[in-house]
Every structure is written in structure tokens, then in C-alpha cells.
A = this chain, B = another copy of it.
Amino acid sequence: MIPFAAPVRDLRFVLEELLEHGSLALPGFEEASPDLVEAVLEEAARLAGEVWAPLNASGDRQGCARRDDGGVSVPDGFIEAYQAYAEGGWNGIGVSEALGGQGLPEVVASSVQEMLHGANMALGLCPMLTAGAIEALAHHGSDEQQATYLPKLVEGTWTGTMNLTEPQAGSDLSKVRTRAVPQEDGSYRLFGQKIFITWGEHDAAENIIHLVLARKPDAPEGNKGISLFLVPKFLVNEDGSLGSRNDVTCASIEHKLGIHGSPTCTLAFGENDGAIGYLVGEEGRGLNHMFTMMNEARHKVGIQGIGVAERACQHAFAYALDRTQGRSPRSGRSDCTISDHLDVRRMLLSMRARTDALRALALYCAAQLDVARHAADEGERKAAQARVDVLIPVVKAFSTDQAVEIASLGVQVHGGMGFIEETGAAQLLRDARIAPIYEGTNGIQALDLAGRKLQRDGGAALEGLIGEVEATAAELEASAEHVELGRSLAGGAADLRAAMAAVLEAGADPESGADAVQAYATPFLNLAGHVLCAWQMGRAALKASAAQASGSEEPFYSAKRQSADYAIRQWLPVGRAQRAVIEAGMASLAAFDANPH
């Protein structure tokens, strides 16, 4: 088995050199020093590499099983690995100290998450969902709810779930039917069925706190009738001890393409007297409350994709550096490793460059999240939030689409061995394939970007980012050794601006605007992802050559420069073609009858 070495050096490059530890200068992070961050990364890398990663393949093989008693068994070792994580305090790493967390910046929390997802994506989903529940309660829960549930969730003694989907309500949550019937004591009884509930039932924690979208019997149809309810697996007594088992049960678990170690449950609410639940936040505002946490969950899914992409790189590099085959064109030796063949090296560099670029962009977004939450100046906070709003759909969708391609290239590098499950490369592809689907499909992300996010500010936030891309391009062009990178990046920025103008114009048409946004959303997000990632790699090239100019001979910087060169000059051009795709218009899509019979 290929061991997993969490990419501490690469993460530090982003945090220290690209982001210049900007988050640590924000109010509230006075106690977090670069040394502390380094120690946190090293410690997380140990947990990821030594405890979580060795269970990735065995967890995939064994999978989860629903027991006759209605419980769900997760793979051997997962409970212990989760508990090691919780006991190490990792669950609260990005949670504020006021809520019992470590209060470290989002850039650090995201770095740790990337390592853990790279180590074991199926297990990483458990705390990812808990984080969403913490977020929702921290923003919308009553004081009493926060006091009762948050400490245990932050510790990780209890885990959380998000219960949105029903068979008829997937991307369109307005169709949610689960009923919440008010009781005299102010609580509710819930009746209904939720599907695709990640870590919906398991024994890894003492209790599970389900956050559930449902509607009161008299609620209006559509979005406005939906409220958010908290439904604990075990009711919680006034003294905080666990009471009786609530009427929510796991009806079945899914047989999935990947993430076999993560139980995906159908939950039945109210098969007997009704599942006791409590309203969270305002009645009729359930979708809004849920989106508070979904926005950050989407960033985390992007991070997850990057974790799996990193692991796919490590597998592919290890194989390509070990497997001898063919004759080297340079040495003429017939025992060269396949990494010596430039066609294979193209695959390796393509995987590496894209993973580097996605990581840099996702952590840039995390740094903006830190500013949006912690900057002293309100204007600064708002400007950062506007960038975050634009970046999150890109980070979610682009990182996960690319992660699937990177994992698939990883299979290809292994040749025939890649198709054999024992090799491990195929699992990464199977696991990665869910990420473009859940937490809002990548199509939904694209609509969010090209529709809501772009139309509401007329593209101002994205225009600000394009301006920064151009500034980096100018800096590259001004430096003798990076002229070509600068030109290519400037071309990308121009394409993105032109495409944005086209999408804004087409989207503003009262007649066809909604269709136009749908038609152009995916190519537009893809173009934005390429340009913004290339931008980050332009910055990486500048930092790497500066380090070399200061005398560093670390091979890391030379590899980073090749990675940047590939990203900007060989990967970006493919993305830039999406401008032509948008400019080709939407006539063929509008005219195409999917059911001509």
C-alpha cells in the first residue's frame, strides 16, 4: 500500500508565501503564531498519515452494514480513528473559542481538512457534516439549544447531519414534504423520509444531532413553508444526560460507487409516535438557515476534492517512479522508470499542477473567509465576503470536477494495474466521483455563480478579482523570466472579462435571461476556475523565483515553477476555449429536443 504523506510543505508554501500568513494578523488570532500553525500542521499530518490513511482501503473493502437492530456498523477501526480525532481536539479547530473550539483561522482549519480528506475521505465526511450542524446552531440556534448541543458537537462527542433530500426533493428543496406537527410543549413531532443522509446512523459517537428541513401542517407550499428542526437521535435530559431513543431510524443504507466507509442512510422520521424535534431559528426560514451552513460546506467539499487529488498524485508519482518500462529517449537505457517518458510525465505534471492550483485558490478563498469574519473594518469584511460569495461555487465545482479528472489520470498512469482494485488508484476515482454531485451539484454551483452571484452585483466582485489577475499578469510580464506566463495569464483575464460581459448581458434579457444563465453557467464557471487557478500559480511562480533569487536551492521551488508553467501555459488554454463556447450562443441547446420520438 502507498502510504499517504500529508502535503505539509505545499500547504506551508500557500499559507506562508502566497498568503503571507495574512489571517494571523486579523483581530482574534493574536495567539496564533506561524510556529503554532506549523506545529498544528505537523500534528494533523501525523493523525492523517498514521491513523486515518491506513484505514482508507480497508474501509472501502469492508464498507458499512445495517444491522438487524437498526444500527449501522462502520468499517473496523473507523470508530477508534474518529475518537482519536475528537480527543485530539481537531473537531473544534476552526470553531471560535467562545464556542469551545480552538479558534484558529479558516486557512488552518481548511489545511487540516484537506489532509484528513486525503487520508480518508469517507471518514472525513463525518466531522464535515458535524461542522455544518455547529455552524447552523451557532448562527440560528436559541441560547438554550446552543448550550445543550454545541459543546458536545464541538468536542465531537456527538456528531451532526444535514437532512435535506427527499425522493421528490433533490436540487429543488421547495418540494420537501416531511411534516412537523406542533406539540403543546412547544416541540414538534416529525413524520417523513429523508434520503442520502451522510453518516445518518452509526455508533462512532454517543449521539447524533439531525438538522431536518420540514414543514408545519399549515405551512404554505414552496420555499417559504420550510422550517429547520433539530432532531436528536437520543433525547437530551435537562441535566445534559442522554434520555430515550427518538423515533428516527435508519431504514436502509445505500450501495454506492465510492466512499463505502461513509454510511449513506435513508432515515425514517416518525414511524411510531413521531420524532421529537425543535424549531431552529425562524419559522419559514429553514432554507435560508440551511444555506448559511451549506455555503461553508461547499467550500469544504472543494477542499475534499483537493485532498483526494493530492492522494491520487502521490499514488501516481510513487508508481511512475518505481515502474520500469521502455527505453528512455535520453539515456537510451531500457530500464528507465516510466516517469522518464514525457508522455507519462505530462500526466504527472498535469495532476500535480492542477492540484497545486486548486489548493492555492481554495486557501485564498479560506483567507478571504477569515477577513470576512474577523477584519476590524466593516468595508473590508464586506468586500471579502463578496469575494467569498463568488469564489465558493468555483472552489466547490471546479475543484471537484478537476479532482475526478486527476483521479482518472492517476488510474491511467498505473496502466493495467490502475484497473485492479487492490492498487488503490481506482478507489480514489470512485470516491472522488461523488464530490461534483453532493452539496449542490456542480450545475447548481454554476447557476449560483452565473445567476445569483454575478447578476446581483453586476459582476463587481468578480471584476475585482479579475483586476488582481491582471496585476499578477503585469508583474509576470515585467519580469524577464516570466514574460510568457504573464501574456498567457493576461489573455485568460481578458477572456474571463469578455465572457462575464456576455453572461451579464444575456442574463439581463427579461425574455430569455433565465435560459441564458442556464446555458452559459457551466462553461463560465469552468473558465473562471481556470483563470483564477492560473492566477494563483502565477503568484506561485513569482514567489518561487524570488525564493531562488534569495539563494534557496530547495528542489521544491524548481518543481513549483514547472507546475506554474504547466498550469498557465498548457492547462489554462484549454479553459480559455470556454469563452468561444459561450460566444457560440445557446441556439443549439434551446432547439435540441431530448425526446424526439
Listed in ascending order, the chain A residues whose CB lies under 8 Å from chain B are: 165, 168, 170-172, 174-175, 195-196, 254-258, 317, 320-321, 324-327, 329-330, 334, 339, 341-349, 404, 408, 411-412, 415-416, 418-422, 426, 429-430, 433-434, 436-438, 441-443, 446-447, 514-515, 518-519, 521-522, 555-556, 558-559, 562-563, 565-566, 569-570, 573-574, 576-578, 580-581, 584-597
Contact = CB atoms under 8 A, between A and B. Distances in A.
B257 A430 contact: yes
Given A258-B419, A343-B522, A408-B404, A562 B172 contact: no
Nearest to A196: B416
A83 B298 CA distance: 51
Contacts of A170: 325, 415-416
A590 B328 CA distance: 12
Contact of A326 (B172, B257, B421): B172
A408 B422 contact: no
Contact of A555 (B420, B441, B447, B597): B597
B419 A256 contact: yes
A188 B347 CA distance: 42
Given A196-B416, A555-B597, A556-B596, 13 more contacts: A168-B324, A257-B411, A317-B595, A339-B594, A347-B443, A349-B594, A412-B442, A430-B430, A559-B592, A562-B589, A566-B589, A569-B588, A570-B588
25 contacts: A171-B325, A171-B415, A172-B327, A175-B325, A255-B420, A255-B422, A256-B419, A256-B420, A256-B421, A257-B411, A321-B594, A329-B515, A343-B443, A343-B522, A345-B592, A346-B519, A346-B522, A412-B436, A412-B442, A415-B441, A418-B437, A426-B433, A559-B593, A570-B581, A574-B578
B565 A344 contact: no
Contacts of A171: 325-326, 415
Contact of A344 (B329, B411, B443): B443
A589 B415 contact: no
A522 B400 CA distance: 23
A343 B519 contact: yes
Contacts of A522: 343, 346
A569 B586 CA distance: 10
Contact of A441 (B321, B329, B334, B412): B412
A321 B558 CA distance: 51
